[in-house]
């Protein structure tokens, strides 16, 4: 149990969020040791309303891949094989030089290395039939500049999430859409959600998913419990260890300097007094965050519609210390 002072500090923070003192946020949720200990809704937030996840969707896509590994449809070794080797409909003879350098590992760390002329791509999008299914990857890898060691640097977005979703669709029984519903969402008792479809016909992978705040906590608790759900292995623990590790340093100027990137999950050190915690989180624009402090078995979910998105400072200052 928390001390009265620490509890009061979290309640005070929630009141201030409600008054808009820290930006436009819609919910603040906390689980500790897999139990819901704090829940607050503000502005557009309600317990039974789904909320846009923006790029926090990417963290969920990563767990879907980890679920496929847990069920044996992929192995950890497969993460370093050419991505096209899983795509039987792709004609490799037509691809640009170096296309085989793109692996799941590279795509998951935003280092796929695609380089496509924007105007050319806008032209291609006018005939969406060519992008159906694996046609998306075929088209991307026909029209990109060659993939080289120099091009395979961190570049956020850059079609990487959909490269990963295309492989999921290729390796699981049935479709990626069926797999996400039956093997992930149904198993987590998530029925109130929206998962949009990409022009390829596959599920979106980088954004356009809506979940409730409570269901965001479920996503976080899988990470906090090393891949378990209700005590049973759910997502490959070996995969998760890698996914939530800081593998590359992001180079976008809007990402704080101490942030690192794993497999669609961020990692950052949070210093509390003289102790530093490794914090993993899925993060989407507007303030969507699933924050996991595994060492404390602590999961925090936040939703918002805030352009500045500076709430993380308050989480580090008030919420995490309360559970030390």
Looking at the predicted structure, is the pLDDT value of residue 1 above 80? no
Looking at the predicted structure, is the pLDDT value of residue 2 above 90? no
Which tokens is 201 given?
A: 């016909």
Looking at the predicted structure, is the pLDDT value of residue 169 above 90? yes
Looking at the predicted structure, is the pLDDT value of residue 116 above 80? yes
- Helices and strands (DSSP H and E) totals, the chain: 11, 12
What does pTM read for this prediction?
0.98
Mean of pLDDT values over 215-223: 98
Condensed to tens digits (0 to 9), the pLDDT of residues 250-277 reads 999 999 999 999 999 999 999 988 899 9
> Residue 220 class from Cβ within 10 Å (0-12 exposed, 13-18 middle, 19+ buried)?
buried
Residues 6+ apart with CB under 8 A from 204: 57, 165, 195, 196, 197, 198
Looking at the predicted structure, is the pLDDT value of residue 3 above 90? no
Mean of pLDDT values over 75-94: 98
d(CA 47, CA 213) in angstroms, rounded, equals 7
Confidence at residue 273, expressed as pLDDT on a 0 to 100 scale:
86
Beta carbons of 206 and 220 less than 8 angstroms apart: no
pLDDT over 90, % of the chain: 97
DSSP string, 208-244: -EEE-HHHHHHHHHHHHTTTEETTEE-S-HHHHHHHT
Q: How confident is the model at residue 54 (pLDDT cuts 50, 70, 90)?
A: very high
Coil, strand or helix at 186: coil
Looking at the predicted structure, is the pLDDT value of residue 90 above 90? yes
d(CA 213, CA 50) in angstroms, rounded, equals 7
- Between 3 and 306, name the one with better pLDDT: 306
Residue 301, Ramachandran bin (φ over 0: left; ψ between -120 and 50: alpha; else beta): beta
Confidence at residue 225, expressed as pLDDT on a 0 to 100 scale:
97
Coil, strand or helix at 199: coil
d(CA 250, CA 109) in angstroms, rounded, equals 9
Mean of pLDDT values over 94-101: 98
- Between 284 and 272, name the one with better pLDDT: 284
């Amino acid at each position: 149990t928390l001390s009265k002072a620490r509890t009061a500090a979290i309640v005070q923070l929630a009141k201030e969020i409600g008054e808009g003192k820290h930006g436009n946020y819609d919910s603040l949720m906390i689980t500790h040791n897999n139990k819901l200990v704090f829940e607050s809704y503000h502005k557009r937030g309600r317990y039974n309303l789904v909320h846009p996840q923006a790029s926090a969707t990417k963290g969920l896509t990563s767990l879907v891949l980890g679920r496929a590994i847990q069920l044996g449809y992929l192995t950890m070794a497969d993460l370093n094989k050419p991505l096209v080797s899983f795509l039987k409909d792709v004609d490799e003879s037509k691809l640009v030089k170096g296309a085989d350098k793109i692996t799941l590992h590279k795509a998951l760390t935003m280092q796929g290395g695609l380089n496509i002329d924007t105007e050319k791509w806008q032209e291609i999008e006018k005939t969406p039939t060519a992008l159906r299914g694996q046609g998306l990857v075929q088209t991307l890898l026909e029209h990109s500049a060659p993939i080289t060691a120099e091009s395979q640097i961190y570049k956020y977005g850059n079609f990487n999430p959909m490269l990963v979703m295309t492989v999921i669709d290729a390796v699981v029984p049935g479709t990626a859409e069926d797999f996400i519903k039956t093997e992930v969402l149904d198993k987590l008792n998530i029925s109130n959600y929206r998962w949009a479809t990409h022009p390829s016909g596959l599920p979106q992978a980088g954004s356009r998913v809506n979940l409730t705040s409570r269901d965001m906590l479920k996503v976080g608790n899988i990470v906090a419990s090393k891949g378990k759900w209700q005590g049973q292995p759910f997502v490959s623990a070996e995969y998760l260890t890698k996914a939530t590790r800081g593998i590359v340093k992001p180079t976008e100027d809007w990402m704080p300097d101490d942030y690192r990137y794993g497999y669609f999950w961020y990692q950052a050190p949070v210093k509390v007094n003289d102790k530093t915690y490794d914090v993993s989180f899925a993060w989407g624009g507007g303030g969507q965050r699933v924050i996991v402090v595994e060492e404390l078995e602590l999961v925090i979910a936040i939703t918002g519609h805030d352009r500045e998105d500076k709430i993380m400072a308050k989480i580090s200052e008030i919420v995490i210390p309360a559970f030390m």
